Structure 1
Amino acid sequence: MKHRKILLTGALALLCLPALAHSGAAPHGHGFVDGFAHPFSGADHLLAMLAVGIWSVRQPNAQALPPIFLGTMLLGVLSGVAGLAIPGLELGIALTVALLGGLIAVAVRLPAAAGAALVGLFAFLHGNAHGRELPQAAAAMGLLAASALLILAGRALGRVGPARLTKLSGALIAALGLLLVANV
């Protein structure tokens, strides 16, 4: 019962967060602190990074997934800085949250290569969006540092909770991801 109250409180708090990370509603600076703060500015990035961490714990290549995510995210940042425009990017980012939540909720374990490819694709999308908004190197380093911390926090959450609570958190992330998809 206590776990349900915690999850409900967290869900309600996250519902209050606008998905402003790419809306253009808030001006962005270009320093390390601006990049570091960016993943916390919208539920889409916050949930995606936590979900990558939670999901990666139970994968065959668990230790490799966070560095794969961060490295591919950097490639995505560079593509965004270079001006690569990905059609439907906002929808793709929202879908990554819903899909990661779903993978956690049903405890999907993928072969190592498939898990790495999926995480890499998701990371590239998130990185591209960030690179288009935060084109300076210092901002990119801040973004990667914050993303690494959020992924590590997700990994810690994925390790400490019982499987049932982990699945419930995945369902919550998936539901919030679907809300993000509906608002794109």
Structure 2
Amino acid sequence: MRLKHSFLVASMMVAAMPAFAHTGSHPASDLVDGFAHPFGGLDHTLAMVAVGLFAAVLGGRALWAVPATFISMMLVGGVMGVMGIGIPAVEAGIALSLVILGAILAAGSRCLISIAMTLTGVFAIFHGYAHGAEMPTEAAAALYCLGFVSATAFLHGTGLVLGHAFGKRQMIHRLAGAGISIGGVVLSLN
């Protein structure tokens, strides 16, 4: 009962957040702003928690390899965003990350760690691009990047903790995945 209550409270808090972390939607200049960015949009928050859940479901080496791949490739995307290198359909890529990661969790699918790393790495480029493109030219780039990397690691950790808290209860993993996937569809329609 306590887990249901906690999940309900967390769901209500997340639902109150803005829908997207669109490029250029708010000013950013330092560590705090960089840390806040992933929490400023439900799409980023859900995707990063989903990566942690995905890693928890896979277990073993995936516990560190999948989140580390995401963070590494997110930094690559962030650099692309800062440099103004165009990536088509960034928002669609972010929404698609939710749909696909959520669907994998909902289906209870297991895959090779290398496939999970590749998949999350590709999605991370879109998320990183949004972080980097939003950073204004006067921002302290290193502090801003440290902030969004720290927030991402925190959200991955949250997903890992939730995945372990759910334990072998595959139905909860599947329901969380379905919610994430549906969230991706809904957010892509906005």
**TM-score using structure 2 length:** 0.88
After the TM superposition, which residues 22-171 of structure 1 pair with which residues of structure 2 at under 5 Å, given as runs?
22=22, 24-25=24-25, 27-59=26-58, 61-62=61-62, 63-134=64-135, 136-161=141-166, 162-171=169-178
Deviating above 3 A after TM superposition, structure 1's stretches of 4 or more consecutive aligned residues are 1-13
The one-letter code sitting in structure 1 at the alignment partner of 2:40 is: S
Q: Which runs of 5+ in 1 are unaligned?
A: none
Shift of 1:20: 3.6
CA pair 174-7 structure 1, distance change in 2 beyond 3 A: farther
Greater displacement, 8-17 / 111-120: 8-17
RMSD between aligned alpha carbons? 1.8
For residues 21-51 of structure 1, the C-alpha deviation after alignment (integer angstroms, 9 at most, x for no partner) is: 11544x2221010000111111001000100
Number of the residue aligned with 1:176: 183
The one-letter code sitting in structure 2 at the alignment partner of 1:123 is: A
For residues 149-178 of structure 1, the C-alpha deviation after alignment (integer angstroms, 9 at most, x for no partner) is: 000110010111122111111111111111
The one-letter code sitting in structure 2 at the alignment partner of 1:179 is: V
Aligned residues between the structures:
182
Q: Which runs of 5+ in 2 are unaligned?
A: none
**TM-score using structure 1 length:** 0.90
SS in structure 2 of the partner of residue 64 of structure 1 = helix
SS in structure 1 of the partner of residue 132 of structure 2 = helix
SS in structure 1 of the partner of residue 111 of structure 2 = coil
Identity %: 39
